[in-house]
C-alpha cells in the first residue's frame, strides 16, 4: 500500500481503526501506553514499538487517536522526539476530539520542523470503526488532505472537508458531539414522560426513530436509553463530559451561548459523581429517569 503509518493511541476506537488499516494492506507501527491493547493488532500484522517516536518514519505519516488535549500535547510536544523524527515532509493526522486552538497550536509547532498537521476527528462508535463506516471531518492544507485521503477511505464511508484552518474540523466535531448530547437528553426526558404516563418508552422511541427522527443517533442511542445497558462502555461518560466542556469553551471564545450544553454538562457531571464515569456516556439518560422517579 505504500507509506508506513505510525498509529499512536489504541483505545476502543484506535484499536479498530488501526485494524482497518492493517487489513487494507498498510504497513502499520503501533504504540500505546498499555501494550496489551495491541495484542490483536500484532497478530494481524502490525508492529508494536516501545516508544511513540519509534512508530514514526521520517517524512512519513503519523495518526493519533488519543483521549484528550493533554495527552496529545504531551506526545506531540513542540520539541519532543515524535515531532522531531517526523520532520520535513512528515504529516500528523490527528483524529482525536480536541479544542480547535490545540489543532492550530500543533500545526504551527509542527511547521517549525517542516512537518504538517491535519485535523481529522471522526464520527462513529467502535462498531462503525470496525466496519469501516466512520465519517471524517477534515481541515488543513489541501495537499495534506489529498495525501491522507486513501487513509480515510480505508477507515470510513465519507470525508467532509472544512478548509485550510486546522482547527475548523474540530469545531465541526464539537458541534456534532454537542448535538448528540442534546439528543440523548431529549430522548431521556421523552422516555421518562412516556414511561410515567403508562406508554412504552421503547415503542415510542422506536416509532420516532423510524419516522420524525430516522437517523443513526436517535436509532442507536434510543436503544441505549431504553435498554439501559451502559457497560462495557463504547465511549465513557468522562470523555463525553470532556467533549461538552470543549464545546462550551470553544463557544465562549467566539461569544456564543450554549444553554443546552450547560444542561448536558450538568447531567454528565452528576452521573460521574454517582460513580458512572466509566459507563457509556448514554448513561446520562438515567438522570432524567431518576428525576421522574421511574428508576
Q: Is 37 a catalytic residue?
A: no
Q: What is the DSSP letter of 56?
A: P
pLDDT score of 2: 72
> Given a cut of 70, is residue 31 above it in pLDDT?
yes
Phi, psi of 92 (to 5 degrees): -105, 120
Give residue for cell 523524527: 85
Burial letters 218-250, b for 16+ CB under 10 A, else e = bebbbebbbeeebeebbbbbbbbbbbbbbbbeb
Annotated active-site residue in 84, 173, 196, 229: 173
> Given a cut of 80, is residue 44 above it in pLDDT?
yes
Percent of the chain residues past pLDDT 70, beyond the cut: 100
Tell me the Ramachandran region of residue 111: left when phi exceeds 0, alpha when psi lies from -120 to 50, beta otherwise: alpha
Bridge-partner residues for 91, per DSSP? Answer: 61, 116
> Given a cut of 70, is residue 15 above it in pLDDT?
yes
> Given a cut of 90, is residue 1 above it in pLDDT?
no
- Average pLDDT, stretch 221-235? 95
Residue 159 CB contacts under 8 Å (≥ 6 apart), including other chains? 135, 136, 138, 149, 152, 153
Q: Which domains does the chain have, with CATH numbers?
A: 5-164 (3.40.50.720), 171-292 (1.10.1040.10)
Cis before residue 234, ω within 30 degrees of 0?
Answer: no
Contact 21/76 with Cβ under 8 angstroms? no
> Given a cut of 90, is residue 226 above it in pLDDT?
yes
Amino acid at each position: 500500500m505504500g507509506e508506513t503509518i505510525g498509529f499512536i493511541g489504541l483505545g476502543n476506537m484506535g484499536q479498530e481503526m488501526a485494524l482497518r488499516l492493517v487489513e487494507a494492506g498498510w504497513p502499520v507501527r503501533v504504540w500505546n501506553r498499555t501494550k496489551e491493547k495491541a495484542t490483536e493488532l500484532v497478530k494481524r500484522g502490525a508492529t508494536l514499538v516501545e516508544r511513540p517516536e519509534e512508530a514514526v518514519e521520517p517524512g512519513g505519516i503519523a495518526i493519533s487517536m488519543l483521549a484528550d488535549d493533554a495527552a496529545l500535547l504531551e506526545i506531540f510536544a513542540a520539541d519532543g522526539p515524535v515531532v522531531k523524527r517526523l520532520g520535513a515532509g512528515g504529516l500528523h493526522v490527528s483524529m482525536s476530539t480536541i479544542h480547535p486552538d490545540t489543532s492550530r497550536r500543533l500545526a504551527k509547532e509542527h511547521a517549525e520542523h517542516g512537518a504538517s498537521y491535519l485535523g481529522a476527528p471522526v464520527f462513529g462508535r467502535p462498531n462503525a470503526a470496525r466496519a469501516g463506516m466512520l465519517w471524517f471531518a477534515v481541515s488543513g492544507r489541501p495537499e495534506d488532505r489529498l495525501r491522507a485521503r486513501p487513509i480515510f477511505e480505508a477507515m470510513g464511508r465519507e470525508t467532509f472537508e472544512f478548509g485550510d484552518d486546522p482547527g475548523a474540523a474540530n469545531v465541526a466535531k464539537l458541534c456534532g458531539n454537542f448535538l448528540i448530547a442534546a439528543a440523548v437528553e431529549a430522548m431521556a426526558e421523552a422516555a421518562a414522560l412516556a414511561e410515567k404516563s403508562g406508554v412504552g418508552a421503547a415503542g415510542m422511541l422506536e416509532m420516532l426513530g423510524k419516522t420524525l427522527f430516522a437517523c443513526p443517533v436517535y436509532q442507536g442511542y434510543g436503544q441505549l436509553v431504553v435498554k439501559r445497558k451502559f457497560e462495557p462502555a463504547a465511549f465513557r461518560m468522562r470523555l463525553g463530559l470532556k467533549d461538552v466542556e470543549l464545546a462550551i469553551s470553544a463557544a465562549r471564545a467566539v461569544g456564543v451561548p450554549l444553554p443546552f450544553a450547560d444542561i448536558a454538562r450538568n447531567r454528565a457531571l452528576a452521573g460521574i459523581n454517582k460513580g458512572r464515569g466509566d459507563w457509556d456516556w448514554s448513561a446520562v439518560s438515567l438522570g432524567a429517569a431518576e428525576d421522574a422517579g421511574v428508576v
